[in-house]
Amino acid sequence: MFKRLSTIVALFVSGITGFAPKEDFDITAYPSFDLTGYNSNYHSISHDVSQFSGINEDPIIGKNSEDYFKCPVYGPFQVGDPDFTASFQYKAKIANQQILERLRVFTASGELLDAKTQTTKYYENNALEEVDFVIPIRNCLSVKGITLKFEILAKSDRSILKTYSATIYPVTSPNNNYQYYKNNVYESLPIGFYGDGSEMKAIKETINFTGLGDYVESDYYYRLEVSNKRFNYSSNFPLTYKSLSLRFEDHENLFPYYTHDTNDNVVIPLDIVNNKGRLTLKYKTNFYINKRTLETGDIYRDGFIFSPSFYLPVNGKDHFDNKILYLDFVEFSKSKITMSYPLRYISGKALVGTAPEGEYYVSGGIAND
């Protein structure tokens, strides 16, 4: 009787607290929330596989995989750079035997410049091995480039069992003007190398500036937008640059509260949003705006408010229309591209303004607050 009464009370309490499982409710279909077994590093497994540095943890390596070759990204290089040590990992379908590991360096025309051979080792078929070699950059690399060849040889007859190679060149800054970049996709010479898990590959830079177009425009609210200026970058190297800015002459003194250079230019620092090689421009700093006149300053003044956007002054569009603005790239990318890319400003009508400039306007002027 007591057991039956306890069951009735338990059902009554569960009804009050709102827990009423459906007849088809299957608790095994829901995850356990037992935190005693929670691994706080779990997220790193799905979001950053690169953190696993142990050679046996590479997801490419399977028990029966063949011809595996991997090394980190090396480069870019300059003529006269110091020698450095490179680490190679490999795994190959080679019969059990004594082998030699060798690195040879050739000129682009095939002349042998340097050769190093490690001591003999016994290789078991499909075993994972790692070996280090000093890469003789200082005495070998020239503007003509070099070819690196990592080779595995049979000790018995010195026949080459496996070869992994790449040709590299020192970084050179191209001497192109903006017309070239406007109409062509730039691709550098190979300036580095890495092992991708199957072979040794040379690394290039590819930059497509053609998406920048010919003009820049403001929207209805006098904002001068740069976020619609986009282009592309592709390389195994991270994108770097010394500086990037938007520059234009201000002889009309439309921006009296903004710092000018000695040539009456307004220079606005820019930055880049890099979304997997799709680059978008953005302002690097914020601004201060007079909310009545939209005059822009780069430091705070009385009557100005903070703004993330750059504005043209009210009724100043007619002076600004067809003005040439320049995107100044200084040592952009590993190739250190330096150029000024011109964009013509195209004026659109303001949403609200004076009769000549606005889509809509207020007759009789603006009352003072």
pLDDT band at 31 (very low <50, low <70, confident <90, very high): very low
What pLDDT does 220 receive?
65
Q: How long, in residues, is the chain?
A: 369
Helical (H) or strand (E) element with 328: strand 324-332
**For range 108-119, the mean pLDDT:** 94
What pLDDT does 348 receive?
60
What pLDDT does 365 receive?
40
pLDDT tens-digit readout, 268-278: 999 999 999 99
Quick check: 32 pLDDT over 70? Answer: no
Name the pTM for this structure. Answer: 0.74
171 phi and psi, to 5 degrees?
-65, 135
Environment class of residue 314 by beta-carbon count within 10 Å: exposed (0-12), middle (13-18) or buried (19+)?
middle
What pLDDT does 12 receive?
40
Q: Which runs of consecutive H residues, i.e. helices, occur in the chain?
A: 2-16, 42-47, 137-140, 178-183, 317-320
Helical (H) or strand (E) element with 234: strand 230-234
Domains and CATH numbers, the chain: 64-168 (2.60.40.10), 205-361 (no CATH)
Answer with the residue of higher pLDDT: 34 or 187.
187
The DSSP string of 61-115 is --TT--SEEEEEEE----TTPPPEEEEEEEE----SEEEEEEEEEEETTS-EEEE
Between CA 330 and CA 258 the distance in angstroms is 22
Place of tokens 């190297």: 237
Helical (H) or strand (E) element with 215: strand 215-217
| Contact call for residues 218 and 353 (beta carbons, < 8 A) | no
